[in-house]
């Protein structure tokens, strides 16, 4: 049963990858490299194809690790002056600017909704106060994806934000 689920995820990942390649451009970043911040906005959405990135909210000292097959971005509705994204490992991604994203919405609305859904969940997790249940669900999700150790790495590192103690 687990194999079928994994195969379905792999097929879905490959389909998303092939579709997004038609709209966006490939990019990459080295380990610890800043992908975007409020000072250096990308105004784009991204599909991570290799590696891990850390989404960080300096104000709340919250961080979240995401891996290949997941979406992130800083489109205007999700742009916050306290959020930034850095590569935890060397990464590769597909970047969709405004024009490419508009084409995706017109031609692939189901994928566009999935993309916005992922970005919304990330934004909510990073900006709103979380309950013990939501923290547990996030940790379980990280374990299920196979990168719980990366999640804990620098989770509450004071150097990520100005007021953590």
Which pair of tokens denotes residue 100?
């490419």
Q: DSSP characters for 6-38?
A: HHHHHHHHHHHHHHHHTTSEEEEE-TT-EEEES
Phi, psi (deg, nearest 5) at residue 157:
-65, 120
Tell me: pLDDT of 7 over 60: no
24/103 Cα distance (integer angstroms): 10
pLDDT tens figures, 51-103: 999 998 888 888 888 998 899 987 655 556 788 899 999 999 999 998 999 99
Using only C-alpha atoms, what is the Rg of the chain? 16
């Amino acid at each position: 049963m687990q194999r079928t689920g994994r195969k379905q995820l792999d097929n879905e990942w490959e389909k998303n990858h092939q579709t997004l390649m038609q709209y966006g451009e490939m990019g990459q970043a080295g380990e610890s490299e800043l992908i975007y911040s409020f000072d250096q906005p990308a105004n784009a959405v991204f599909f991570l194809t290799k590696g891990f990135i850390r989404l960080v909210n300096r104000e709340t000292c919250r961080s979240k690790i995401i891996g290949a097959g997941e979406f992130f971005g800083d489109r205007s509705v999700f742009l916050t002056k306290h959020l930034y994204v850095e590569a935890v490992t060397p990464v590769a991604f597909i970047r969709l600017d405004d024009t490419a994203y508009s084409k995706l919405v017109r031609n692939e609305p189901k994928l566009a909704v999935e993309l916005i859904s992922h970005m919304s969940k990330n934004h909510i997790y990073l900006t709103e106060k979380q309950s013990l249940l939501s923290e547990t669900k996030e940790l379980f999700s990280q374990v299920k994806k196979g990168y719980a150790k990366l999640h804990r790495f620098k989770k509450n590192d004071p150097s990520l934000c100005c007021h953590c103690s």
